[in-house]
A and B are shown apart, each in its own frame.
Chain A
Amino acid sequence: MERIYLAIVLCPLFAALVAGLFGRQIGRAGAHTVTILGVGASFGLSLLVLKDQWLEGAAAFNGTVYTWAVVDGVTMNVGFLVDRLTALMMVVVTSVSLMVHVYTIGYMHDDPGYQRFFSYISLFTFAMLTLVMANNFLQLFFGWEAVGLVSYLLIGFWYTRPTAIVANLKAFLVNRVGDFGFLLGIALILMATGSLDYATVFARAPEMSTQTIELWSGAPWSVMTVACLLLFVGAMGKSAQMPLHVWLPDSMEGPTPISALIHAATMVTAGVFMVARMSPLFEYSETALSVVLVIGATTALFTGFLGVVQNDIKRVVAYSTLSQLGYMTAALGASAYAVGVFHLMTHAFFKALLFLAAGSVIVAMHHEQDIRKMGGLRKYLPITWLTCLIGTLSLIGFPGFSGFFSKDALIEAVGHADRAGATYAWWCLLIGVFVTALYSFRMYFLVFHGPERLDAETKAHLHESPWVITLPLVLLAIPSAIVGWPTIAPVVFGDYFGSAIMVLERNDVLGELAGEFHGPWAYILHAFSAPIPYLALAGALTAWYLYLRNPGLAETVRLRFRWLHTLLMNKYYFDDFNDKVLARGSRGLGNLFWQLGDVLVIDGGLVNGSARLVGWAAQVSRQLQSGYLYHYAFAMIIGLAVMVGWLLLGA
């Protein structure tokens, strides 16, 4: 199996290198063939691993492939931890990636950077697999940064567009904040346990939870709480939780396939995965879990509101992603890691589907993204319409669809949690259901139904996308619809995760719920006794009434609540705050340091001063090398004389 693990990781890397370095030689067809084969191989082997782990019940693999360095007793390894959590993530990552690869053939058809794009997304698959398969913090951090790098490259893929460059810079900077916390968290864990290895660190978690650290004098903190909070700052950056969420909507400047792959299905869920992976640590810190819960729930609700006022088709889906990431995070905060990861999986499918469907619409509309200029596309794009409907139903949690199972279980788990902030979180998530349905169906109705608001030119060329685009839609629509049926029992309420996820007895909300679970059918029936499906229905109906039945009313509401609309349009002024306070403040501070410290002391004194000194010395030493033999011999004699003199007089 070890070789298989290695192959899963290396196939996409190899393909990325081939497509990246020899893209010109192998041509467009060569580039997509080699990367699809690479990722396809990874996907097939990942399925094998899942079968091995789940159906055949193989023991978790934890092994080292290569020891990079041993420094001061700290071993830095490259290694794999493959258990059921990893196996699930591997299948999700490689399957979505494969779909996106195929889809890209159609979407990027006319782009001059075709080979580069394939190289990047293959490289991303490699990085993401390294991240999820890591068995130590160092490799986790490597994968973490590597996916960040590829994300940066892909957001700015169209590097001639100023907006893309601003967006990728923004993503990079905001993630720096998160990564700073993440790195500090890793450092603290290393300090407390002396190891970077998961197994060792987890084994020492109970003893670590009793240690304290003084961040400033007189204020002892639990080491575990500080470490978990710092790690979670990293997760907030990568998984775009408030207030570090601002980069994700702007990342939509990148091509749509990567919005689906990186900014919806996989990379942004890395934070969720990481917290689930670190469950043996988080479990020991009630405070950290409360913070996770509150931040997740806040993100889930408040970014949902923003989705309602957006008019760019991709941004609507982006805000919906933010909101769903908030749901997952809230589940983690409620110690219901399993359902968080479950929602991650179902979300990966339906959100990738929605993004790709949006992409299909964009292609058909000749890169028009404003939903106010669409409408009635249903009859022109039948496959896109149908698959998009499935994705939307799954997203709002329509009973029977995948999203229903995960979201329903998630909200119920949070409802059962009894930690600080749980009630607030439960209300946020519940209202979030209504909001989700509202913005989802608003987009759906505006795009596919109602009057056609297209211009004649676009309309003349309107036709369904080619099969390379529709095939992935169909293939993703299937799991979006049904993957919840067979998986909810083992993953959420069963013991699928086994020892991969650790939950303390007193926190085990899913264990409590498991008693009431009697199969998917019963679960659907049971759901109707709770408010969730009615809220979703209400949201959908509201959207129908406001945007299809009586569009004038939507306008009236907008004018009536102008302050609210302005607030939402300005995204709660997060961006303005960042620009005006943080960015300007740090620029001012930087200017100060630059003028005083850099220009005056460092450049003027140290750098140029020492450079002048070295330059002068270099010239002098050059003079010493006069070319005369007797000078050379003289230098030798002097050297010898000094040595002898020292021996005779000094030593």
Chain B
Amino acid sequence: MASALSTDLLTAWPEIILAVGLCLVLVVDIFLKDSYRDVTYLLSIFLLAGIAWSLLGAGAGGETTLAFGGSYISDPLSRVLKLFAVAAVATVFLYSRPYLRARGLHLGEFYVLGLFALLGILVLASSYSLLVSYLGLELLSLSLYAMVAFNRDSPLAAEAAMKYFVLGAIASGTLLYGMSLVYGVTGSLNIGDLQATIGTAQASSLSLWVGLAFLVAGIAFKFGAVPFHMWAPDVYQGAPTAVTLFVGTAPKLGALALAIRILVEGLPALGDLWQVMLAALAVLSLVLGNVAAIAQANLKRMLAYSTIAHVGFILLGFVAGTPEGIQAALFYTLVYVIMASGSFGFLVLLSSRGEEVETLEDIKGLWQRSPWFALMMVLLMISMIGVPPLAGFYAKWWILSALLETNHVGLAVAALVASVIGAYYYLRVIKMMLFDDGGQAHAGGVPLDVRVVLSVNVLLLLLIGLLPDRLLELCARAAALI
């Protein structure tokens, strides 16, 4: 018994460190005066570094361990996702400090809520049971609702948080209802059991099918796929940019974990069904995301729609259904998180002196005022379009090649057409920064650490674009064991 318990604890070791550590941060923060808030920040960063270290140390071998009666798993997929989630959250923290301080928002809650959300993501990544997934999801979602409302003096933020909360509650209910139907038909919550036991007889059960539809709806909400996307533009715009940065990056990893664990691992027997549903959601997301982004003058809103379009691409990887498809979806998500943290980070950086920089007008002529950061944004935009040699190119490339290998030519063409339409608004950003005049935003007075983080963030895309093999191999290894 003792050895089983220690296996359980070791498997969940990063989450345990995080849970204990964040309680510690919470307690320390209570006793700090406002002028010492940097201590909270530093503690959080150290905590994240510690978790990253423990993740790197554990299981470089690629083995899979089940724990807690088969409801918790540590495998290459969970480790990749966790590592990226930790890095993404750390990046958010690094970006946000001057931004928050300039607005009198540099409070411990930001870090504590962020760490709670991260805990939810880690749990999602390692979950091997429907209920554990639900637990992780709620932990993540509740923290995010609070973060969006974090600036309580802003009516816009309060409205966004309200919308997010109500819609999120509906989605949670949907998901939970789907889980209960699946449980009712199969008598099991365990992903491994579901995978093994759903036979041909059950696979045609209508109740199971209805359950599947509800599960897909819940997952689609978390991704922000059309028509479950309506919260995204309002939340992205309403929340303080630092929170938008948070919402736009790490939670996508959680959503990906949710989709892979439940659909790909739990319900492969229903693959024919959910692939069709996801295909429809993907095409809708690609078209609506790219088209609606064109009409936006607010950069945060535009990026929200661009996120929806990228989600369409990620879902297409699931539609292919092959290990190559899942691997491509994973690769796309990881690259997307880097791109999103760069582009929202860019806005945070420009806003870090106090004034809000969030419209296209603001960044006009940035090239003359801050050429380096304008260049960084150019790289981000062309990576989002998918131009080599940036990482975004390979992300799209592998999704498309997975689609073509499974004879989804129509979907591939649709994705390409949507991307071409989408190129317009990314190029418009570049054009406005380089060739127009009249904006006010500039990067003067931004602390060195934020500058360095953004540059590293963007240059990482270039590096991955030039040497995509390492990351691809990582994704291939994670996807192979599913």
Contacts and interface: CB of A to CB of B under 8 A. Distances in A.
Interface string A608-625: 000000110111011001
B287 to A, nearest CB: 8
Interface stretch (A91-99, A208-216, A638-646): A638-646
B229 to A, nearest CB: 8
B213 A614 contact: no
B459 to A, nearest CB: 16
B203 to A, nearest CB: 12
Contact of A640 (B174, B226, B230, B292): B174
A644 B294 CA distance: 32
A639 B217 contact: yes
Contacts of B214: 640, 644
A559 interface: no
Given A615-B294, A636-B227, A636-B230, A644 B213 contact: yes
Contact of B170 (A622, A627, A636, A647): A636
Given A632-B163, A640-B217, A647 B230 contact: no
Most A-side CB within 10 Å, residue of B221, B226, B292: B292
A651 interface: yes
Interface in B395-412: none
A636 B273 contact: no
Contact of B273 (A625, A633, A640, A651): A651
Given A643-B217, A648-B209, A618 B167 contact: no
A219 interface: no
Given A636-B171, A640-B174, A621 B213 contact: no
Contacts of B226: 639
A436 to B, nearest CB: 48
Contacts of A621: 288, 291-292, 295
B231 A632 contact: yes
Contacts of A625: 230, 233-234, 292
B135 interface: no
Nearest to A643: B213
B294 A631 contact: no
A629 interface: yes
Contacts of A648: 206, 209-210
A557 interface: no
Nearest to A616: B291
A629 B277 contact: no
A635 interface: yes
A588 B82 CA distance: 62
A618 B216 contact: no
A427 B296 CA distance: 73
A180 to B, nearest CB: 23
B209 A647 contact: yes
B282 to A, nearest CB: 13
A614 B421 contact: yes
A640 B288 CA distance: 18
B213 A647 contact: yes
Contact of A636 (B228, B233, B294): B228
Contacts of B171: 636
Contact of B217 (A619, A629, A636): A636
B212 interface: yes
A217 B399 CA distance: 40
Contacts of A647: 206, 209-210, 212-213, 273
A622 B304 CA distance: 13
A643 B216 contact: yes
Contacts of B413: none
A636 B214 CA distance: 11
Nearest to B204: A651
A618 B292 contact: yes
Contacts of A618: 291-295
B166 interface: yes
A617 B293 CA distance: 11
B293 to A, nearest CB: 8
A638 B276 contact: no
B227 A629 contact: no
Contacts of B212: 647
B408 to A, nearest CB: 18
A279 to B, nearest CB: 34
Contacts of B295: 615, 618-619, 621-622
Contacts of A646: 276-277
Contact of B166 (A615, A619, A629, A639): A629
A643 B167 contact: no
A646 B206 CA distance: 12
Given A629-B167, A640-B214, A647-B209, A617 B227 contact: no
Interface string B188-217: 000000000000000000100110111011
Nearest to B281: A639
Contact of A629 (B163, B206, B210, B421): B163
Contacts of A617: 291
Nearest to B301: A625
A646 B295 CA distance: 32
A574 B77 CA distance: 67
A639 B220 CA distance: 10
Interface string A53-68: 0000000000000000
Contacts of B221: 636
Contacts of A614: 291, 294, 421, 424
Given A647-B209, A647-B210, A647-B212, A632 B230 contact: yes
B307 to A, nearest CB: 14
Interface string B227-245: 1101101100000000000
Nearest to A651: B273
Contacts of B277: 643, 646
Contacts of A631: 230
B294 A633 contact: no
Interface string B159-198: 0001100110011001000000000000000000000000
Contacts of B206: 647-648
B213 A640 contact: yes
B398 to A, nearest CB: 12
Given A617-B291, A618-B291, A644 B233 contact: no
Interface string B267-296: 000000100110000000000100111111
A629 B206 CA distance: 31
Contacts of A639: 217, 220, 226-228
Contacts of A644: 210, 213-214
Contacts of B228: 635-636, 639
Contacts of B163: 629, 632
B269 to A, nearest CB: 14
Interface in B343-371: none
A615 B288 CA distance: 12
Given A618-B294, A627-B234, A643-B277, A636 B167 contact: yes
A622 B234 CA distance: 12
B167 A632 contact: yes
A633 B166 contact: yes
Interface in A198-250: none
A466 B127 CA distance: 78
B33 to A, nearest CB: 39
Interface in A344-376: none
A29 B105 CA distance: 51
B318 to A, nearest CB: 15
A636 B173 CA distance: 12
A638 B227 contact: yes
Given A627-B234, A636-B228, 17 more contacts: A614-B294, A614-B421, A615-B294, A615-B295, A618-B292, A618-B295, A621-B295, A625-B234, A633-B167, A638-B227, A639-B217, A640-B213, A643-B216, A644-B214, A646-B277, A647-B210, A651-B276
**10 interchain residue pairs of minimum CB distance:** A632-B230, A618-B295, A639-B227, A621-B292, A643-B213, A618-B294, A647-B209, A635-B227, A640-B217, A644-B213
16 contacts: A614-B291, A617-B291, A618-B295, A625-B233, A629-B163, A633-B166, A636-B170, A636-B217, A638-B227, A639-B217, A639-B220, A640-B213, A640-B217, A647-B213, A648-B210, A651-B209
